[in-house]
Amino acid sequence: MKKSLFATTIALAAFAFAADANARTYIFAAGVLGHPYWTAAYQGFDYAAKKFGVEIKRVGPQDWNPPAQAAGVEESIAKHPDGIIAVLWDASSIPPIKKAMAAGIPVVVIEANLPDSGAMAFIGLDNYQSGVTTAKEFIKVGGNTGKVVALGNWGASNTDAKFQGFSDYLKANSKWEILGKVDDKGEANAAIEAAKSALNTYKDMTGIVGLDSDSGAGVGTAAAELGMDVSKMTIVVNDRQDAVLDFINKGVIKATIMNKTALEAYMAIELLEAYNDNNVGLAGVPISDDNKAAGVISMPENVFMGAQVVDKDNVKYFLPKK
């Protein structure tokens, strides 16, 4: 998940409102905020707001705009929140994250991370391992040999890591050949056109892997518009969109590998609350005589969600309620 064609805006909007006017306030400073990928994360934030009695706001662009996303983190500092939740698809937000930390505002990164982020913790997938999980599922449903084309929004840190894990595992444990990579830009219309290009170009491919949140919907929609029956192809994608779940239900896509985005959002607030609440006392755990003076961060550096496989056997539990 990376890009979208929504008009760029920086909008600070209350996500959930706490009844207590003195409740702690957290800001989710990210990008492509209108993308359906974030629906489950917003549900997780809403659940956390109710559980902990906090206010959660969001700030950032509606489209893919790294400078605007970094500006959202920067703007959040001036609002003096009790914590910031950020995303690192690229390095543009690292300087304001470090600035926030220097100002005493704890920052937790979710979804995608980079080395030397400056944040207190990362919560999300081990994206390389998620790529390995994708490859294992691909071999499970498609057998040990064939020719596959990869779709993704190349350049996004999480997608690139997934592809590396996928290709490494496939090479070491199967005879599958990766014919090529097609950039679908992580945007709905671009993903459809990229999938059409792949279907028309690679006539001998027997499988498709999609590694961002628009890849799966793009493949299913492209096949329908081209009038192609791809049900016999091995198609395994990533992330949870309603269209992807529907294509799994119809047998077009074999499986999707999804992050537990609701859980990563909830746990970001849970960790920040534990850090800020003296009664919970995470900040004061006696790792040293004085954690702050010693430069000790009493928070786990990485919390990995583990990927969830959704296929025809369990998809009914993930389909949107009517």
In the predicted model, what is the mean pLDDT of residues 31-40?
A: 90
pLDDT band at residue 11, thresholds of 50, 70 and 90? very low
Give the containing element (helix H, strand E) for 50.
Answer: helix 39-52
Alpha helices in 85-209 (DSSP H): 94-102, 127-142, 157-173, 188-201
* Continuous segment of H or E residues that includes residue 34: none
Residues 113-142: pLDDT tens digits? 999 999 999 999 999 999 999 999 999 999
Query: What's the pLDDT tens digit per position in 157-212?
Result: 999 999 999 999 999 999 999 999 999 998 899 999 999 999 999 999 999 999 99
> Mean pLDDT across the chain, nearest whole number?
91
35-40 LR contacts (CB < 8 Å, sep 24+): 35/1, 35/4, 35/6, 35/213, 36/213, 36/241, 36/242, 37/1, 37/213, 37/239, 37/240, 37/241, 37/261, 38/261, 40/240, 40/261, 40/262, 40/265
Q: Nearest-CA neighbor of 180 among 161, 200, 64?
A: 200
Question: Tell me: the pLDDT tens digits for 68-122?
Answer: 999 999 999 999 999 999 999 999 999 999 999 999 999 999 999 999 999 999 9
> Using 50, 70 and 90 to split pLDDT, how confident is the model at 20?
low
- Report residue 64's pLDDT band, with 50, 70 and 90 as the boundaries: confident
- Return the SS3 of 36: helix
Is 8's pLDDT higher than 70?
no
Average pLDDT value for residue range 3-31: 56
The whole-angstrom separation of Cα 255 and Cα 259 is 13
Rounded Cα distance, 49 and 51, in Å: 6
CA angle, 236 as apex, 230 and 240 as ends, to 5°? 110
Half-sphere exposure of 168 toward its Cβ, with a 13 Å CA cutoff? 12
Q: Report the predicted TM-score, pTM, of the whole model to 2 decimal places.
A: 0.85
Residue range(s) of every CATH 3.40.50.2300 domain in the chain: 13-125+260-283, 127-258+311-317
Q: Residue 179 and residue 164: Cα distance in Å, rounded?
A: 15
Tens digit of pLDDT for each residue in 200-251? 999 999 999 999 999 999 999 999 999 999 999 999 999 988 999 999 999 9
Q: Which amino acid is at 132?
A: V
For the domain 127-258+311-317, what is the CATH superfamily, name and number?
Answer: Response regulator (3.40.50.2300)
Q: Is the pLDDT score of 5 beyond 70? A: no
* pLDDT tens per residue, range 267-291: 999 999 999 999 999 999 999 999 9
- Tell me the C-alpha distance between 189 and 4, whole Å: 9
What is the pLDDT at residue 174? Answer: 98
Separation CA 252–CA 162 (nearest Å): 22
Q: Given this model, what pLDDT does residue 21 score? A: 56
CATH architecture designation of domain 13-125+260-283? 3-Layer(aba) Sandwich (3.40)
